[in-house]
Structure 1
């Protein structure tokens, strides 16, 4: 009986795990690509800073805060028209990347902003004294110095997105959340629920371990 259960559940669990990883990796990648420059600008656009644009902070700051304050499942439902516009549908794994990315961008932006602000101002002044341009200061001073904190923040974001990806399973997005709901909860299969929970725990642990190792390697204090 256990062998039959394994052969029945294993393909479903494997497919759902790959769908979850696809959603998380894609949304984290796009979210980082958009959230990183936004975070840098939020941290360096104040009066007298590298990119002095106070108006940007006045506009982007409240938008970022407002997006972060909306519960994810409500956000996912609220932007269904936008999801359809981008993905052509609001159902499925690829469509779920849209709300996941929208949720990730402000989260990552605040992480980047906080990490950049922690960089010693003396390093920035020294770079200016040597004639470095603003973009050179960002790429050669701010981001390298903030890298350990950024990696810790992105690890936290990835773990959060794993949880969010399980939530969007409730609205037909696929992945482990969808497997747990359709095959576990709705069919009264506690074994499926347990398998899904264990798989999620393993993924989160693996992501956290990898993120911690990368952050330690990037930390110059450990060299």
Structure 2
């Protein structure tokens, strides 16, 4: 049994692609039967099984696929060959495209962009004006800190290094300052600062490689 259908209501996006608003045919997850959703190009963009849903003004098109328990909402766009699945959420004005995968419990929101061959997974959160492009621009480490949290390092649009750790979101230097302020000279602080040094080296090395390739 199908869980949704394409309605006759449609929009045409900036690429000239016609996208149809969807309508739930049955109750599933937190979606009620008869509820209107967001816009997709074709049925293949959203799985007919599972609790995955597209709502609000969100758009999914091209060969993109949303499935599992994933949600795409707000003004978000998922397109190209991108996949969003698991319990992942893409919202706000975020864009996921190219061959990117967003899955697990990951969140992508705000004005963030995930593209290329990038993978955002686990408990990672990418937001603000962050841009994640390919494997070289994103690293997640787990098991650090007093509660063994996940820390995400990524390259921003202005080529700086951004950090998301728990409720903290900022630059690498702001992260170091916050660590010293919160943890002083403890073992936890030393671990985080060593991790920051490693990520700084990692991203600077990759930028050097890119410059050599482009010369």
Higher relative contact order (CA 8 A, sep 6+): 1
Q: TM-score, normalised by structure 2?
A: 0.27
Max Rg structure: 1
Q: TM-score, normalised by structure 1?
A: 0.26
Q: Which has the higher helix share?
A: 1
Q: Which has the higher strand share?
A: 2
